[in-house]
Structure 1
Amino acid sequence: MKFGNHLLKAAMLSTISIASLSAGSVAFAQDTAPQASDEADENVIIVTATKREQTLEEVPVAVSVTSAAAIERAQVRDLKDLQTLVPSLRVSQLQSSANTNFIIRGFGNGANNPGIEGSVGVFIDGVYRSRSAAAISDLPNLQRVEVLRGPQSTLFGKNASAGVISIVTAAPSYEFGGSAELSYGNRNAIVAKADITGPISDNVAFSLAGGINKADGYGTNLTDGSKTSERNRWYGRAQLLIEPSDSFKLRF
């Protein structure tokens, strides 16, 4: 009987607690409804996996989306580092950047041949990079990276039989802004990059970005004593956005 009384008291307290929580939640929702709506809009993920803008929930494709903020937090420099954020992606770099294999879900050609087009297609702003040497370079200012799993030959062509890595860069902004980064590490590793963006007129904006990524080699050529497996990359990128009307846009 004593046990039953305890259960009855616990049930009554739980009912009172739930009722109090519900009443407080209603009042809180009424006070902050606009803010909740704004946050919901910010959490909507827009992708272009089907060559048009859709929300992630609407896309009928197996796709993993990595935002620019996540890439910056994880210090992802190139597609080789991206595999730390996308579980289904594996990137194997052999003796040089030109000999890099992209594999999605265990599928991808693994031939150590820089002349072979990979079965995982790499696209930057919709432009196909047919050789891994042109795809493994440092990533510029990004908006997101989409990894599409499985054959994508209908929309991206026959060379995307194992999947697609679609890199979407950030468009020029009509507000002035920029960033800079400089780091130094072992083996004289230097990473330096900077970017700037802003308006030229009411309907024209620009952006400029550039960077270097260098490091001494960790191997030694026993013939002449020179270092091997060094890194020496650089990139430059300029963009111009022209929007003369709401229905027409040019981006160079």
Structure 2
Amino acid sequence: MRCKTIFLGGCALLATMSTVTPALAQDTGTQAQSNDAANEGDIIVTARRRDETAQETPVALTVLNDALLDRYGVRGVAQIQSLTPGLYTGESSGAMGGTISLRGIGSGDSMAFIDQAVSSNIDGVPISSAQILRAAQMDLKQIEVLRGPQALFFGKNSPGGIISLTTADPGKDTEALLRGGYEFTAREKYVEAMYSTPISDTVGLRIAGRYSDMDGYFKLVSAQVPGAVPMDIDRFPDQKELFLRGTLSWTPSDRVSVRLKATVTDTDMIGGSSQYSDIVACPYGTPQRPGETSFNCLNDRTLLISQIPASTMAISPLFENPNGARYNNQTLLSGQLDWDVTDTLKLTSVTGYYNVKERLTSNGGYGPYSNNAFAVRFKNEQISQELRLASDFDGPVNFLLGGFYEDRKLFTSTIIVQPFGAV
């Protein structure tokens, strides 16, 4: 499937009166950052595609700065829902990635080709796929969550709102960070590193990376039923994740700046799906079928699960791992040019490339009595280009003129085998 989006001649006329204060929805996220930034001046946001203070922006939004994100260990879009009232994210087992909803407005997670009602925007590059939930993030400068339709400044694919992420850029001073940690419940080991330095008076470089190795927060119990093959892992999800981002900035003059960014995330998860429940085999609190007598039916992160049989694995090469597995790779490239054409006119160009590849093998029933197994291949490749010309007049009226082009290719294939195992 191939999609093209062309939006030309979009124009916003911005009028402000010095005697009028625009309404701003204050919430816990904005207030929390306000406390952090009390000694650092106003909160600068880009909700209307220009640098403005949060108080000047007539948009209902939550702003999370780098200090707040670091304090709560935010390492992905899914983790900001606890800091943002009305935001819900949920990861699915299929190629769609999941669903994102804001104030009750969202899209389903059953179709891989639909756009989310709440879109994401990373360094100016629009991403309407919920696969972004599976991409790790770190070294973020700021996150802005804009509620309500944002078609004027972010396009038609944002009826529910926008999650806008801005990553950190190289600074004037050399910075370095190295830290690690261990999470006991999931038995996760991780290490993070960042290095930023000016190469010359006009060029800066920043590199950030993270690696994690998790045994899993669920304990697996083999099903004692005829035909069930025990898992050869004892916890789920058995996951390894690698994240790398590089940023190169160039400021040849006071009027021109160029920024190039490249981000790669690679996630290997053994165990198949993220949607398991340790009460699915005991809907009435006690084991219901033979072979489940060893299962305690308690909400204690224990799963009763079995491998996909060898007879099913032999049907297609799409079945890669009898334990089930998800291999997800995402690449995001962006380039931004800012040119102050005059003292009152600024031209901005944002070029983006986003690529997702996922291979999934799963025990489709998530238990010892599963009646199907499925394997999925998913690819999403998009190229986008945006141009904006913004004014900064002293008077009460300003304008923003822009155009946007996107070319996206989507591919998915699914094989489902049923029945298998003991039923």
**2:231 aligned residue:** 225
Distance 2:140 2:74 in 1: 11
CA 188–124 in structure 1, closer or farther in 2 if over 3 Å, else same: same
Is the 2:74–2:138 Cα contact (8 Å) retained in structure 1?
no
**1:32 aligned residue:** none
CA 167–61 in structure 1, closer or farther in 2 if over 3 Å, else same: same
Following superposition, the deviation at residue 43 of structure 1 comes to 3.0
**2:208 aligned residue:** 209
Structure showing greater relative contact order (alpha-carbon pairs closer than 8 Å, 6 or more residues apart): 2
Gaps of 5+ in 2: 1-36, 224-228, 261-423
Distance 2:238 2:82 in 1: 22
Residue of 247, 258, 277 corresponding to 1:250 = 258
Q: Which moved more, 1:204-213 or 1:178-187?
A: 178-187
The yes-or-no answer on 1:94 pairing with 2:92 is yes
Identity of aligned residues (%): 32
Larger Rg: 1 or 2? 1
Is the 1:149–1:163 Cα contact (8 Å) retained in structure 2?
yes
The yes-or-no answer on 1:191 pairing with 2:184 is no
Q: Which amino acid aligns with 1:208?
A: I
Q: Which amino acid aligns with 2:44?
A: I
Distance 2:131 2:230 in 1: 27
Distance 1:216 1:112 in 2: 28
Distance 1:69 1:48 in 2: 18
Deviations 1:200-247 (A, max 9, x none): 101111101111233123264754414543433211111111001111
Residues matched between the structures, number: 214
Q: Which amino acid aligns with 2:87?
A: L
Q: Which amino acid aligns with 1:235?
A: F
Gaps of 5+ in 1: 1-38
Is the 1:219–1:229 Cα contact (8 Å) retained in structure 2?
no
Distance 1:160 1:219 in 2: 39
**2:70 aligned residue:** 72
Structure 2 length-normalised TM: 0.48
CA 189–97 in structure 1, closer or farther in 2 if over 3 Å, else same: farther
Residue of 219, 234, 241 corresponding to 2:249 = 241
Q: Which amino acid aligns with 2:89?
A: V
Distance 1:219 1:99 in 2: 24
Give secondary structure in 1 for the equivalent of 2:55. coil
CA 195–153 in structure 1, closer or farther in 2 if over 3 Å, else same: same
Distance 1:116 1:64 in 2: 26
Q: Which amino acid aligns with 2:187?
A: N
**2:135 aligned residue:** 137
Residue of 163, 177, 180 corresponding to 2:178 = 180
**1:84 aligned residue:** 82
Following superposition, the deviation at residue 188 of structure 1 comes to 2.9
Following superposition, the deviation at residue 97 of structure 1 comes to 8.4
Following superposition, the deviation at residue 141 of structure 1 comes to 0.9
CA 190–157 in structure 1, closer or farther in 2 if over 3 Å, else same: same
More helix, by proportion: 1
CA 64–53 in structure 1, closer or farther in 2 if over 3 Å, else same: same
